[in-house]
Amino acid sequence: MASFNIDFPGTSNQFVVNATKAIQSKGGVFEGDASNGLFSLQTLVGSIKGTYLVISELNSSPTKIAITITKKPLIVPMSKIQEVIASYF
């Protein structure tokens, strides 16, 4: 398990809308609200699963999000997963 933070430029509600669209457009699952939730994506080399937690004030802008990856393909470095996940948001 590995964790990292991202800074989303909008509010936590906007994060949920953007994250839902981005992950679902890649065939993944995004479930949650403006404070926490989970996501999963299938890649060519295996699945990625994780959770998120909003760690800044709700609906403030920008929004700091803590991402925890709970499952990833062994051959994919964490730095690559962080780069790809951050690009979705």
Residue 49's domain comprises 2-88
Q: What is the CATH number of the domain that holds 21?
A: 3.30.310.80
Question: Which letter does DSSP use for residue 20 in this model?
Answer: H
pTM listed for this prediction: 0.88
Please give the pLDDT value at position 49: 96
The domain total for the chain is 1
Mind listing the pLDDT tens digit for each residue in 8-63? 999 999 999 999 999 999 999 999 999 999 999 998 888 999 999 999 987 788 99
Output helix, strand, coil percentages for the chain, rounded to the nearest 5. 30, 40, 30
Q: Is 45 left (phi over 0), alpha (psi -120 to 50) or beta?
A: alpha
